[in-house]
Structure 1
């Protein structure tokens, strides 16, 4: 490595690839990670499991928890020999080079036929951009990673590692399983290369500390961050500064000298003296005399659990334990501790869950910027648009998990009709919610975008055994801006594994066919505008009731002094004036079920059927769905 100084040994450690098998809801995953990135996806996709898997392999204190894994950490909860779940990868799935597929949890690629297959959890982490200290420490297990192909260099030609794209790398694998003999769960991290050579070598706590991985869980970390328990953030800082021995000895020494309730005026010392005199009557002095009270049992482990930081609250002098502060304050304290750790190590990988928890938008952005600046690599999970917009397209990883437990990743690729500038300008209002949802309803315009969720929620309130709100179905509604944009946006979200529905006014046959080719299901009514759909297909009593309740704007009041005399024309003008401002949505939310236009009810029922098919529906639901299907054929 004499000629490698220009490229090797000067990097800041990063996790380039993560492979997971049989962990929680993930049967198999192989993810490539950017220098800094945010993992997003619908709830229960596996975002937290991805970070937990890294922590199993690299967390210095993670495996001190006993047991390190339990039955709920195994895919489908199957951990006994013979319960292994067979894994069939989808056609075309390519495994990363050098990664043996452990479909049933077997370590040995050719197990004895008489041996029952035992499920195991495996999490392999590939680390690259190693510095000189790490290269020297892990020298026997160093491999080579080609950044151009995102694969291990395995051609066997030593000269090939001099290529500008090839860097030293380290692979480690966590293995968790159930030990039938001890009736307990075990877990340990090994150098991957040693496992493949048949001589597994443990990757110990000191080795993990050299990698510098820190995992900040949402809420959970804050409850003990400023305590001195093993693995707390304050404990890590003290370890880095080598202050721990002095703290413990000084604390124990001071406490030993403190006699609780030693003042005779309190009365306790007198009672203890009488006990001591009684003892002298029955036992020799060597057996134990002079009882007195002390603060604690004076062990280090006990002190770790009771010592915690106090922080002043408000303007007064009163101080309270840090964990009794507000959640947002705790999270900012945690960030301050993390910055201290990063400044001390200068080469860390941060993984952080939901930095937006109890934090205002400006502080969310501050957290992202500070963590990125302080760390070699920062990995986040988030549902906040203020966090997500701080990451470029190539730093945003969309996770999706299929019914077979295969977790995959997708990067955002904008269609030609969606320019990057527009994507950034409209991220919060148009794109973010779709990225975080499993199902999307692309509405032609602002009126449909506000009205459909509102009326679906209203129908669900009126008849919860028949209808469901769009939110309950996991559908987010997005304003496409025009019917011509439904197709391009459907391409964008469809490529990310989303189920995309379309909703629009009457189209020409050619336009209808073009949109239908892009979406899962198209809902198109026969009117030329959503206002016409509502005004022409609802009862006059509902229109008049809404008209009476309105506070009419002055210019419409002048034009329609008595709106009820021509209620359709008056409300058409009102809806045009309030277009995109919840005018029709407000009208629909005060309707009874029979006053809601039939096409809207049919659409809600059809969405129920598509998103939440019920094998044995109740009679009213079965009848309603059947009627909706029949009516839908008329519109088709």
Structure 2
């Protein structure tokens, strides 16, 4: 069993999305792209315990916070008004004649398509089973029954979550339905908790799963394991009985019992004994529900026998403990979808790889989000789901297609050092060589420190800098990242007209200076004072010291040799890091500003949007109500 496609509308930062998923996948992209939103959407539709929360969704789950219906009005003074949310929600799942009304309602909708169904699932959901074409990645809707016979046509199930605001209850509602029942019957059929348990979806949130993993709270990993193994601990009555017999601080020497006895004596002066007597202390509320919350596992630490609560262990230990429990869940269920956020949190690289391999082997489908190169390199290109979201909230998946002259072997060899950071960023600056890759981010950072009003660092602009290795490789690297929806820029020395045209065709902005080497640009564009100051701080290599006995006196020539000798070893970057703004070559200063203007443009004077924003409209709606 696996999710082959998820369609999302009006949920959090996603206005629309239609994402195809392979058997195992890692979702990547810059922060706030929509990776976690996809996992949360899957949890709304498939998570057996998610809809037990009340309310299951809230204001911030709606795209741009819009959960109220707007009435159309041509006047400039139009205000947002409330329309019955319950009517709109009903319209979203009602008969075809109400579809027009439904379309006006702000409705969270998540449609999940599931394939590779087990025999148990086919039997249970038979009435709602459809057929999926694995070649075309779409549902088979041809009326010819014989069309389902080919091997690439397989049984599939669709379920749809709807979330809406109910104005009569003044609260939010959410339900999951069999998708076919929404269009084929006037009475939509719910996809209930028992149905979801048969599907077996487990969502493990980053830094949050381990906090109650080994407790007996409902929905904890230990509770899930006990339910899967059909273990019903017959311990409650015995535990409650033993605790009931134990009175805290009963010894008079402690002093508490004397205080309680004086309270009891005073109580008798005011009320009859039937009203209550003999106050004393117990260790619990003596109910099953309270015991579920307070019982937790202890784990021995260090060399001795001292034990501490499991959640007081190190984060890495807790995460590995969670992994061990996951293996128990998968072994007991045999057919489960694992969705896991950032398995690299507090875990060393070798353990990150172990987690990925273990979960992939245990699960019928594993879906990860990650920012770790050690996790990402464990997935093939077809399993790497690169996500991008535009300003309107439309999220898409971009397949990774290597240019013809970029071989898969080279991609894999240089993945950690050259490609990974670009895959995880929104903006990529392709630099010609190692010197440019190290020096240009340093100079932007230095300018931002010296004059934050006029400059920003590349990090603040969300730009990662990648080393192309040579000027001949810039265009192909830029082409790769541009095809993934990244904003691409390039930095290089003077190019031939043909090479410049090739690069320009693949980048949004080309930063090309007129010198043959960036070292020449810096040496000609800086001051003698800056060169002398830097020369005085260096421990000169013997061969340069021998050539220039007094390198400070000949700092310009000596540093030309030094920068060539230290190429790729941060020599030029170290020099620029100690310069003042006026000592940094003008071309570099202008290049920094051009990047800043491209990524963070300043609005034109007088360009003021007079349209009221969403918060103002929502406030007006509440006033109108």
Name the TM-score, length of structure 1 as normaliser. Answer: 0.89
- Distance between the aligned counterparts of 2:310 and 2:372, measured in 1? 26
Unaligned runs of 5+ in 2: 73-88, 606-625
Shift in CA distance, 577/265, structure 1 to aligned 2, threshold 3 Å: same
Shift in CA distance, 173/114, structure 1 to aligned 2, threshold 3 Å: closer
Contact 1:105 1:117 in 2 (8 A): no
Unaligned runs of 5+ in 1: 1-12, 85-101, 618-636
How far the C-alpha of 1:108 sits from its partner, in A, is 6.1
* Partner residue, 1:188: 175
Contact 1:20 1:28 in 2 (8 A): yes
Residue 173 of structure 1 pairs with residue 156 of structure 2: no
Bigger mean CA offset, 422-431 vs 302-311: 302-311
Of residues 386, 411, 417 in structure 2, which corresponds to 1:423?
411
- Distance between the aligned counterparts of 2:354 and 2:103, measured in 1? 52
Residue aligned with 1:298, SS:
coil
Shift in CA distance, 107/379, structure 1 to aligned 2, threshold 3 Å: farther
Of residues 117, 121, 126 in structure 2, which corresponds to 1:134?
121
How far the C-alpha of 1:294 sits from its partner, in A, is 2.0
Contact 2:94 2:188 in 1 (8 A): no
Q: Deviations over 1:312-356 (max 9, x none)?
A: 222233222222222111111111111111111111100000111
Of residues 133, 141, 155 in structure 2, which corresponds to 1:154?
141
* Partner residue, 2:9: 21
* Pairs aligned (count): 588
How far the C-alpha of 1:285 sits from its partner, in A, is 5.0
Residue aligned with 1:173, SS:
strand
- Distance between the aligned counterparts of 1:112 and 1:336, measured in 2? 48
How far the C-alpha of 1:218 sits from its partner, in A, is 0.4
* Partner residue, 1:99: none
Q: Deviations over 1:109-168 (max 9, x none)?
A: 653767892211111111111111111111111111111111111112222222101111
- Distance between the aligned counterparts of 1:516 and 1:378, measured in 2? 40
- Distance between the aligned counterparts of 2:103 and 2:540, measured in 1? 77
Alignment of 1:142-291 (within 5 A): 142-197=129-184, 198-272=186-260, 285-291=273-279
Residue 349 of structure 1 pairs with residue 309 of structure 2: no
* Partner residue, 2:316: 328
Of residues 473, 476, 483 in structure 2, which corresponds to 1:488?
476
- Distance between the aligned counterparts of 2:281 and 2:209, measured in 1? 34
* Partner residue, 2:567: 579
- Distance between the aligned counterparts of 2:448 and 2:529, measured in 1? 22
Bigger mean CA offset, 573-582 vs 555-564: 555-564
How far the C-alpha of 1:261 sits from its partner, in A, is 2.8
* Partner residue, 2:612: none
Contact 2:5 2:18 in 1 (8 A): yes
How far the C-alpha of 1:365 sits from its partner, in A, is 0.8
Name the TM-score, length of structure 2 as normaliser. Answer: 0.90
Contact 2:93 2:188 in 1 (8 A): no
Q: Deviations over 1:170-224 (max 9, x none)?
A: 1111111000000000011111111122321111111111111000100011222
Q: Deviations over 1:339-394 (max 9, x none)?
A: 11111111110000011111111111111111111111000000111110010000
Shift in CA distance, 564/394, structure 1 to aligned 2, threshold 3 Å: same
Alignment of 1:302-381 (within 5 A): 302-381=290-369
Of residues 58, 61, 66 in structure 1, which corresponds to 2:46?
58
Contact 1:105 1:119 in 2 (8 A): no
- Distance between the aligned counterparts of 2:559 and 2:492, measured in 1? 21
Shift in CA distance, 460/283, structure 1 to aligned 2, threshold 3 Å: closer
Shift in CA distance, 150/17, structure 1 to aligned 2, threshold 3 Å: same
* Partner residue, 1:468: 456
Shift in CA distance, 385/308, structure 1 to aligned 2, threshold 3 Å: same
Residue aligned with 1:200, SS:
coil
Root-mean-square deviation (Å) = 2.1
Bigger mean CA offset, 497-506 vs 263-272: 263-272
Greater relative CO (CA pairs within 8 A, separation 6+): 2
